[in-house]
Amino acid sequence: MRNLVILISLFTPLLPNAQIVDSSAVGKITYYEGRVELGFAAYWDKAKINSPVKKHQEVKTVGDAMAEISWNNGVKSIVGPNSQVSVLSLLNSSSSNAKEQTQGSFDNFKRIFISDKRIKRTQEGGIRRDEAKEIEASGNEELYWKEDREIHFANAYGLYEESRYSEAIIALQGFIEQKPKDAMTKYAFFALGHCYILLNNPIKARQIFDRFIIEFRGDQLVLEAEKILTSL
C-alpha cells in the first residue's frame, strides 16, 4: 500500500492553478514616506527601511506616500503617490534607455514652456518671492507640500528645475489635483512625467502621458507626448 501511495504521488500532475513563487530579493526599500505596502494577492505587509523587495510582489503607496527602491543592480526607482506596481515590471523597466530616448522631446517641451507669454519671469530661483517667504514662515519646506494649502505652479515647477525630483512629484501632483483646469496644468503634467522617467519609473510616466493626450487633445505638446510614449 505504501508503494502504491508513493507511485500515485509521483505521477499525479500539478494542479493547473499551482504557482511556483520566486521569493528571491531583487532589491530593498531604502526610503519611504507615509504608508507603503509590499505583497501580492491577499498578503500585504507594511514596508520598512531595508525591507527586501521580491520578484513576485507588488508595491503599493497609499495616499501621498512614496517609496524608493534600490535594486541589486545599483539602480534606484521611485514609486510615487497612489500607485500600485509589479516589482518585476518596475525592475525590468528601470534599466531602459527612456532618459536618453526622450531627451529631445523634453528639450522641446522646455522651449515651448519658456516661449509661453503667460510665464512670468519674476521668479527668484524658480520660486516667487512672496511664496518663498510663505514657505520660510512655515518652518518646514518638506511638510509644506503635504499640508492642505494651495500649491502654486511656480513653487512646484521650481523643484523640478532644481532637480529635486522626488519633492517635485509630490508638489506637481498636488497642483494638478488642486487646479486641473489651470493654464499651467499641462506643463505640470509634462514635468511630472519627466520626473518619473528620471527616477526610473517609466511605467508611471506612461500613465501620465496617456492621460495627457486625452485631456489636452489638440495641444502642440501632444505630439511630443506621443513621441515619448513610443520610447517607454
Residues 24-50: tens digit of each pLDDT: 899 999 999 999 999 998 899 999 999
Same domain, 173 and 61: no
Closest CA to 60 of 70, 46, 76: 46
Task: Please say whether the dihedral angle defined by the alpha carbons of residues 221, 64, 83 and 162, taken in this order, is positive or negative.
Answer: positive
> What is Dmax (Cα atoms) for the chain?
89
Same domain, 86 and 139: no
Residue 10 lies in a domain: no
Residue 217 lies in a domain: yes
Residue 122 lies in a domain: yes
Identify the domain boundary among 73, 94, 115. 94
User: For the segment 43-90, what is each residue's pLDDT rounded down to a tens digit?
Assistant: 999 999 999 999 999 999 999 899 999 999 999 999 999 999 999 999
Expressed in angstroms, the distance from the first to the final Cα of the chain is 59
Residue 78 lies in a domain: yes
Q: What pLDDT band is residue 149 in, cutting at 50, 70 and 90?
A: confident
Q: Which residues contact 96 (CB under 8 A, 6 or more apart)?
A: 202, 232
| CB neighbours of residue 46 within 10 Å | 12
Same domain, 114 and 220: yes
Same domain, 136 and 200: yes
Residue 181 lies in a domain: yes
Which pLDDT score is estimated for 35?
95
Q: What pLDDT band is residue 198 in, cutting at 50, 70 and 90?
A: very high
String of DSSP letters for 36-59? EEEEETTEEEE--TT-EEETT-EE
* Structural domain total, the chain: 2
Which pLDDT score is estimated for 82?
92
Can you give the residue range of the structural domain that contains 166?
98-230
Residue 4 lies in a domain: no
**How far apart, in whole angstroms, are the C-alpha atoms of residue 144 and residue 158?**
14
Same domain, 113 and 83: no
Identify the domain boundary among 56, 75, 94. 94
Same domain, 54 and 108: no
Share the mean pLDDT of the chain: 84
Same domain, 134 and 55: no
Q: What is the mean pLDDT of residues 169-173?
A: 95
C-alpha cell recorded at residue 8: 500515485
pLDDT at 131 over 70: no
C-alpha cell recorded at residue 38: 509590499
Q: What is the mean pLDDT of residues 8-34?
A: 68
Same domain, 216 and 161: yes
Q: What pLDDT band is residue 94 in, cutting at 50, 70 and 90?
A: confident
Which pLDDT score is estimated for 24?
87
More reliable by pLDDT, 45 or 2:
45
What's the CATH number where 119 sits?
1.25.40
Same domain, 87 and 165: no
Task: Please say whether the dihedral angle defined by the alpha carbons of residues 26, 169, 134 and 109, taken in this order, is positive or negative.
Answer: positive
Same domain, 144 and 65: no
Same domain, 226 and 131: yes
Same domain, 186 and 149: yes
